[in-house]
Amino acid sequence: MDIALAGASRGWPAMVFRRPARAMKVVSALLVAVLAGSAVPVALAAADAAADTPPETMILNVSTQVLDAIRSDKGIQAGDFERVQKLVNELILPHVDFDKMTRLAVGRAWRGATAEQRSTLTDQFRILLLRTYSGALSKVTDHKVRIRPSRGQDSPNDVIVRTQIVPSQGDAIDLDYRLEKMADGWKIYDLDILGVWLVENYKNEFSEALNQGGIDNLIKVLTEKNRKLASGAKPS
């Protein structure tokens, strides 16, 4: 099962930059499209929101909607952050359990965080992903997303959807989604790109800030990174 998908201009962590830059552009576009999340409630088409929609179908539907939106919005193609955020708000939030994603990335320290700290962490993590990868949507090329066979190790309510991004030229890129079935449908809470799970990658990064000063220090570090990204400066 194939669909066309957007390719774009930013990259994944340095440990996987050995792949061709063209391929990494496509992966980065998917990061923006699927992981950025938002705190703004939005309406969702009934077909996508249905609790009985298979997770593979949901992944393909979201990718199609995102591609159509990019192709029709010159602002997104130009890298307009506000337009990218609007796209995310309208198309992505209903499919992502961002609270769970943040909780897993923070790890054990999450249990000791207050409700306010948890909310702030979730918001700052979302903004970090959105600002880090927003440039990925500034250029669009034609690719296909192909569903790969399941390995048969899923539970009824927690699955991994295995996909492959196939460019017109060059190597295909494996991209897997981890989803949990909720009352209102399947929700994405992690991605595996070239063998690197996003949550685990950020968990390792967050642990240093947590070890140095706990939850408040992690909030401070994320807020500062987001400030630098917003100003165009390179975060430390």
The answer to whether 149 and 139 have CB atoms below 8 angstroms apart is no
> pLDDT of 117-129, one tens digit each?
999 999 999 888 8
* 146 beta partners: 2, 164
Choose between 63 and 224: higher pLDDT.
Answer: 224
> Phi and psi of 221, rounded to 5°?
-65, -45
State the residue for tokens 């949990």.
180
Per-residue pLDDT of 136-184, as tens digits, reads 655 555 667 788 888 777 788 999 999 887 777 778 888 899 999 998 8
| Predicted TM-score (pTM) of this structure | 0.76
Residue 33 has pLDDT above 90, yes or no: no
Higher-scoring residue by pLDDT: 148, 84: 148
pLDDT for 137: 59
Q: Residues near 21 by Cβ (< 8 Å), separated by ≥ 6?
A: 11
**Which CATH entry fits the domain spanning 55-231: 3.50.50.60, 3.30.420.40, 3.10.450.710, 3.30.70.100?**
3.10.450.710
Q: Kindly list the domain boundaries of the chain, sorted by start residue.
A: 55-231
